[in-house]
Amino acid sequence: MSTKPRLATVWLGGCSGCHMSFLDLDERLIELAGKVDMVASPITDYKGFPHADITLVEGAVANEEHLAHIREVRKKTRTLVSFGDCAITGNVTAMRNAFGVDDVLNRAYRETSAVVVGIPSGNHVVPKLLPRVRPVHEVVHVDYYLPGCPPPADAIWRLVGDLLDGREPVGDVRRFG
């Protein structure tokens, strides 16, 4: 059984740009592979969300599945990081809050479609959209904030390095916004 720290990354409602910035660690990914066990991430295959020492959360809470998932992730994570501006403020994902859910769905699936067999949302296969998109810290306790759209790879490297080495992160990494 490996005793390396357990790192996870999660996507909620966002564009995946924060995860792309994580991959922009480039060859530092190889170094990271030696330092941590990547226990869950969109780039690995994994079973139900495992216990993690550090979890980076990209994206805002936009539907009922996100809500259930982030609550489970919080329970199983020691240090939770709001990873990027959508997680921290809702950002672009929350721009739909200025409109009603029905207006947004109508524009996307009725007005722009020549054939409407059905409108997705909240049936047995796709999750129901929340009436208001929320930042992660409105839903669960968040330990650290890593801002940016997306956060630069160097900032990710520094924060993860500080947390792995047991140093209190310095600079802007705890600042909201």
Interacting residue with another protein among 4, 5, 53, 65 (CB under 8 A): 65
125 binds another protein (CB under 8 A): yes
- Residue showing tokens 């919080």: 74
107 binds another protein (CB under 8 A): yes
Contact 51, 1 (CB under 8 A): no
* Sites for another protein among residues 148-177 (CB under 8 A): 149-150, 152-153
**Per this entry, what is the length of the chain?**
177
**From the CB of 96, what's the least distance to another protein, in Å?**
5
Distance CA 122, CA 44 (A): 28
- Token code pair at residue 138: 């409105």
Interacting residue with another protein among 6, 10, 67, 160 (CB under 8 A): 10
127 binds another protein (CB under 8 A): yes
Distance CA 148, CA 164 (A): 21
User: Does 150 sit behind a cis peptide bond, omega within 30 degrees of 0 on the bond before it?
Assistant: yes
DSSP letter at 167 equals P
Interacting residue with another protein among 52, 54, 56, 66 (CB under 8 A): 66
* Sites for another protein among residues 13-52 (CB under 8 A): 13-21, 23-24, 26-27, 29-30, 33, 38, 40-49
Q: Given the complex with another protein, which of 10 and 168 has the nearer CB atom?
A: 10
Residues 6+ apart with CB under 8 A from 169: 144, 158, 159, 162, 163
Region binding another protein by CB under 8 A among candidate stretches 89-97, 134-142, 156-164, 166-174: 89-97
> 3-class SS at 149?
coil
Cα dihedral value 143, 147, 153, 159, nearest 10 = -30
Distance CA 92, CA 60 (A): 9
**From the CB of 162, what's the least distance to another protein, in Å?**
22
Sites of contact with another protein (CB under 8 A): 10-21, 23-24, 26-27, 29-30, 33, 38, 40-49, 59, 62-63, 65-66, 69, 91-93, 95-96, 98-99, 103-105, 107-110, 112-121, 123, 125-127, 129, 149-150, 152-153
